[in-house]
Structure 1
Amino acid sequence: MGRASHGLKATTSSILLLIGTSLASAGETVDYSADGADYQGYYAPASGEAKGLVLVIHDWDGLTDYEERRADMLAEMGYDAFALDLYGAGNRPETTDAKKAETAKLYDDREAMRARILAGLETARERSSSDQAVVMGYCFGGAAVLELARSGAAEDVAGYATFHGGLATPEGQSYPADTAPILIAHGGADTSIPISDAADLARTLEEAGITYGLHVYSGAPHAFTVFGSDRYQERADENSWSVFQAFLSDNLGASEG
């Protein structure tokens, strides 16, 4: 057990060291449509037979190089990965006000949010040989992941993962009893999403009998996984990615080696 844990940690560190250096782009831009609108995602296929499919949902910036990097990392690990687009082709807000406006549109129209996620999942499955998927997201994307989980609308989803995402459950919503396992990675020093929201979500999932894992990283601020930002915390990023690797292995039925 000790050697396996050490090996997983070394693998995680090795992968993360490639970020910003030698990790080559493994994927391609994918144009697709949903409800008559154009979207542009990013698909990174595994080399060889995939262990499963991972859907990546972006933060409030929209789909950027960050999510593409994460998709490439997943492809390196042996998973097909698709980073979807919730805003629309060419819509990548740059100012804080513009980002708030784009997320507000989807928070106010959660049916549209769910429909766009499902369109991204369908697009990913058209390219992947694997039907079983894990859906993961960052910040706003983490809130979107939980929105999909509560809807129960996605088939063949083996797990959900949210990294420093919004965790509050909207009034009138709940998690179906057959919801797939949920991984929650949260920063203990996150001032945007209070730790009380994490505790409330854990209580909600516990009462619903849903399998979950809540991991809180001391001193980690909001957006602690974002490479190159002043909020990036290497320890929390590496540890949460290691936990996520194990989560993928457990729920997609593949060994990380």
Structure 2
Amino acid sequence: MRRIAMPPLRGLLLGSLLLSGFTGTALADAPDGHSIDYQVGDEAFTGYLASAPDEARGTVLIIHDWDGLTDYERQRADMLAARGYDAFAIDLYGKGNRPVETDARKAETARLYDDRERMRRLTLAGLEEARQQGVAQPTVVMGYCFGGAVVLELARSGQAEDVHGYATFHGGLGTPEGQSYSADTPPILVAHGGADTSITMSDVATLAEELEAAGVTYEIEVYSGAPHAFTVIGGDRYQARADEKSWAAFHSLLDEAL
């Protein structure tokens, strides 16, 4: 993948504004995203849609971390809309379900890790809802931490139509028993922190071997000294260098895929 210069960042949170150097005038021009309630069967969910101000170059589907769809995913959606993409952050937990305690977050992720069919179904339902909202096609799917694992689950399934690329940021990389990647899987970008103790470099190497054996187009970027969750602006493990480099790599994928 070719590299592009890191653009100024825009977002909802003060940390992003400080990182980008944007003024109050720039903030006034920021995309106007909004929440979207939708149903999957008899269950209610709430996503977030940020639309490109002009004709969109394509769509980015965002899959949240283990704490559910929060201001962080909304911020990233607005940043993508500012760059000319429609962005839809989906909800895998259910309307109003945004766990705060660690045990509650573990329980929510375990519920989906233990029921991969439900994980895929809810992800595809979120993609369908985005398209019902009139977003541009084609699509790239991206996710953070737990969401990154969901991204790879969707990539292995081959069930998502008109998806032209996948990206996982400090996400889970393991392949469940009985699953595998196919040669026609769209390109995959893996952004990983070299100091991540949750997902190890051994996990990275194993994934690379699987993708290489399957003939999948992929790129793995490892950022020295970056811990798990290095992209979470305002978090105690945030690393600006790794965030900026991974964001630039992601936009390079978007340029090529969309």
Same fold (TM over 0.5): yes
Matches within 5 A, 1:22-41: 22=24, 23=27, 24=30, 26-41=32-47
Q: Are the aligned partners of 2:88 and 2:130 in contact in 1 as well (CA < 8 Å)?
A: yes
* Aligned-partner Cα distance in 1 for 2:80–2:238: 20
Report SS of the residue matched to 1:101.
Answer: helix
Match of 1:230 among 232, 236, 240: 236
> Partner of 2:124 in structure 1?
118
Matches within 5 A, 1:117-136: 117-136=123-142
The aligned amino acid for 2:124 is: L
- CA shift at 1:49, angstroms? 0.5
Match of 2:5 among 2, 9, 12: 9
* Aligned-partner Cα distance in 2 for 1:77–1:125: 19
> Partner of 2:149 in structure 1?
143
Match of 1:159 among 161, 165, 190: 165
> Partner of 2:219 in structure 1?
213
The aligned amino acid for 2:220 is: L
* Aligned-partner Cα distance in 2 for 1:76–1:177: 33
- CA shift at 1:188, angstroms? 0.3
Q: Are the aligned partners of 2:37 and 2:46 in contact in 1 as well (CA < 8 Å)?
A: yes
> Partner of 1:255 in structure 2?
none
How many aligned residue pairs are there? 245
Q: Which runs of 5+ in 1 are unaligned?
A: 253-257
* Aligned-partner Cα distance in 2 for 1:16–1:164: 22
Q: RMSD across aligned C-alpha pairs, in angstroms?
A: 1.5
* Aligned-partner Cα distance in 1 for 2:188–2:234: 27
* Aligned-partner Cα distance in 1 for 2:11–2:103: 33
Deviations 1:21-72 (A, max 9, x none): 3544620000001121000000000011100000000000000000000000
- CA shift at 1:10, angstroms? 4.4
**Is residue 195 of structure 1 aligned with residue 195 of structure 2?**
no
With normalisation by structure 2, the TM-score equals 0.92
Q: 1:84 to 1:18 in 2, by over 3 A?
A: closer
Q: 1:18 to 1:27 in 2, by over 3 A?
A: closer
Instruction: State the structure with bigger RCO (CA 8 A, min sep 6), 1 or 2.
Output: 2
The aligned amino acid for 2:9 is: I
Report SS of the residue matched to 2:9.
Answer: helix
Report SS of the residue matched to 1:183.
Answer: strand
* Aligned-partner Cα distance in 2 for 1:194–1:28: 36
- CA shift at 1:129, angstroms? 4.2
**Runs of 4+ that moved beyond 3 A:** 16-19, 21-25
* Aligned-partner Cα distance in 1 for 2:35–2:121: 20
- CA shift at 1:235, angstroms? 0.2
**Is residue 87 of structure 1 aligned with residue 93 of structure 2?**
yes
Matches within 5 A, 1:61-72: 61-72=67-78
With normalisation by structure 1, the TM-score equals 0.92
* Aligned-partner Cα distance in 1 for 2:195–2:206: 17
Q: Percent identity?
A: 64
Q: Are the aligned partners of 1:45 and 1:128 in contact in 2 as well (CA < 8 Å)?
A: no
Q: Are the aligned partners of 1:224 and 1:231 in contact in 2 as well (CA < 8 Å)?
A: yes
Q: 1:154 to 1:17 in 2, by over 3 A?
A: closer
* Aligned-partner Cα distance in 2 for 1:28–1:95: 26
> Partner of 2:185 in structure 1?
179
